[in-house]
Chain A
Amino acid sequence: MVLFAALVSVALASLGHRTIRVRVRYALWTLALFLIVAIGIAWLMYPLSR
């Protein structure tokens, strides 16, 4: 999941007008959001699995 999120974040960060520094920051921010949302949704669905 982390690898998938990291690679997709790199692709998304490659879009648009950005310096290298802003791209790296955007990629890390996107990666963090991916992981937070994925784990958050997993926990929200946890009661439904019981």
Chain B
Amino acid sequence: MKAHADGALRADLAEDAEHEKPAADSQTAAPQASNAPTAGLASIVLLAAWAVPGLGHALLGRWARALGFFLAVGGLAMTGYLMGGQVFSLHARESFGTLGFLADAAAGGFYFLAHFIERAGPDIARATGNYGTRFLAAAGLANLLGLIDAVETALGRRG
């Protein structure tokens, strides 16, 4: 049974080699990014992936990953705001607040939407507010995963 599962997984991975290559047809709106590992490209991808979740992968032609990260990070961040989660600021009075800021800020553009979406401020007196705080931190950490994956792809270390 394990051998069958492994065989099925290998077949899927082999099939993936065709699906994960940047599309060469007219459906890609952005210009094709070079596959050559360059520090300049990696820097642009890093900033783009941080600012807008999934944009780094989109610049590299990895549309499925771009959409996945955008939906995941955006969904976590918006859910956190709607639940009244606490958004930590740069000038935190304690180390936990600083860690919270680093996690929240890793979500990039979604972090700066807090002032527009959470106008009433956090609601941490209730359990939903505490859950929202965790959602916001998870959004930043998920974007960090995507950012690292995008940079590794730009550097040619991943396909």
Contacts and interface: CB of A to CB of B under 8 A. Distances in A.
Interface residues of A, number: 17
Q: Which of A8, A14, A18, A21 has the most CB of B within 10 A?
A: A14
A35 interface: no
Interface string B62-96: 00110011011101100100000000000000000
Q: Which of B15, B16, B17 has the most CB of A within 10 A?
A: B16
Say whether chain A's binding surface is mostly helix, strand, loop, or mixed. Answer: helix
Given A19-B19, A20-B19, A8 B13 contact: no
Interface residues of B, number: 27
Interface of B: 9, 12-13, 15-17, 19-20, 64-65, 68-69, 71-73, 75-76, 79, 131, 134-135, 138, 142, 145-146, 149, 159
